[in-house]
Structure 1
């Protein structure tokens, strides 16, 4: 059977995953297909049961299904269990294997975009959703000594911090600007600054000059946060690389080739 894979979400038309997997399929001469699938929550269980019978080797998972597919999986990696969500499913031996590569993709993108970044200094993370949970877990695994969380809804930040040890603390959203003085990495995991969303208004004046600023948003590629940081001379890392790096493990599992994340791939995904 022709190997198939895809991405499921609701909505899904905006996804760039077909572009990047299609690029890898062509590069490696693989006679396979990667298909976007619009799946509603009510159809999720039935879809996951049907896909392997249609020849699918696995799927990526995007909003709003990451937690739901984790609960439906037969097996899960440690990193998926750590965040209680999955973005990569592999169908093998009649079972659903769940993984979460978001954190690994975030770290790989950070190291590629800011090679001088060192994980031995504090980080400040904006947001307290599922993306923030994966980023915090990955930063702690990298040895970051403390992670500070700031979220517009303080209770959500406190709930997320409670899932980790005392290396994770919270501050009030309005205290973000002054708190930047004590951090070497600023990460935006919120939708603020994304095309069609309100701007992210953070005063960067206290941020150390060598602190790295990264945004997991990639539409636009240079968000207002990154533009402001670049104007100050801070090193910045855009969010597109996280999308690219998180995709590689799934492609390797489904199509048997470990792909490269390079400039050709970025150009293909940017269209």
Structure 2
């Protein structure tokens, strides 16, 4: 099939839709990654951002799932935990983390939830030369991203994950879920534990805005501790800038998403979609286009 990147800009009545839902959404990179992928595959599909406040998320989600030409939903801050409860079924990885960041419409109309944040983060960490096996890790933030990262790190063999979140109810629930899968290797703390950490992860939204305070003081970290941030825009957050100035290796947020592209390709069954497009004769595709002035 001809690779036509301009196809992503050609929206028609037959275009299949994908949404990325968050609050805010101005920082999301998913459209700039997924739309070129759709175009490269020759699919008449588009991913668009949807800005939804937390108090409206359930209502908007129910509307989206009833949209017949919507095939998938990506979920970002702060809705990943809420999305878990709205999916019809979820993967073991999503259940362990208590959050989903991708949902797929099934042929029967049900929605399946998955979480790729954790494996995307671990892949980026490993490719940066930091192997997780045996690491002692502190994760600040137990929301959707933090919970997924904690679960993936435990699965990858870290020795211990210490989690901190001022929302103690959410924190305790996450530790209980993780302990069911990896007994004795996850702990919740009322203050962040940095003393012997090999890796510290900011999994909070702090750093998205220029006037945000630092989520923690990098001067409290042990020497050469790796500092990672899940925030993708700006690329260099205040935390990473301060940590690098103190000599800490840093890990940017973008690789967590970049390494999810192949996972999305499989999860959303894009290969099958390409095969379905290729099976349609060109004349059939032409006949499906309404004459000018007859459509909406």
Distance in 1 of aligned mates of 2:77 and 2:160: 28
What residue is the counterpart of 1:49 in the other structure?
A: 66
Distance in 1 of aligned mates of 2:131 and 2:226: 7
Q: C-alpha offsets along residues 149-206 of structure 1, whole Å, 9 cap, x if unaligned?
A: 2334556544432333221123443xx4xx5341211111122233242223414355
Superposed CA RMSD in Å reads: 2.6
Q: Does 1:86 align with 2:100?
A: yes
Q: Does 1:127 align with 2:141?
A: yes
Task: Extract unaligned runs of 5+ from structure 2.
Answer: 1-13, 273-296
Question: Which has more radius of gyration?
Answer: 2
Contact 1:151 1:172 survives alignment (8 Å): yes
TM-score normalised by L of structure 1: 0.79
Residue 97 of structure 1, CA deviation: 1.4
Distance in 2 of aligned mates of 1:35 and 1:192: 24
Spell out the pairing of 1:169-188 with structure 2 (5 A cutoff): 169-173=187-191, 176=192, 179-188=193-202
Which structure has more relative contact order (CA 8 Å, sep 6+)? It is: 1
Residue 255 of structure 1, CA deviation: 5.7
What residue is the counterpart of 1:33 in the other structure?
A: 46
Distance in 2 of aligned mates of 1:191 and 1:9: 12
Contact 1:60 1:250 survives alignment (8 Å): no
Task: Extract unaligned runs of 5+ from structure 1.
Answer: 259-271
Distance in 2 of aligned mates of 1:103 and 1:126: 14
Contact 2:23 2:77 survives alignment (8 Å): yes
Residue 138 of structure 1, CA deviation: 1.0
What residue is the counterpart of 1:100 in the other structure?
A: 115
Distance in 1 of aligned mates of 2:256 and 2:41: 22
Q: Specify whether residues 229 and 86 from structure 1 end up closer, same or farther in structure 2 by C-alpha distance, changes over 3 A only.
A: same
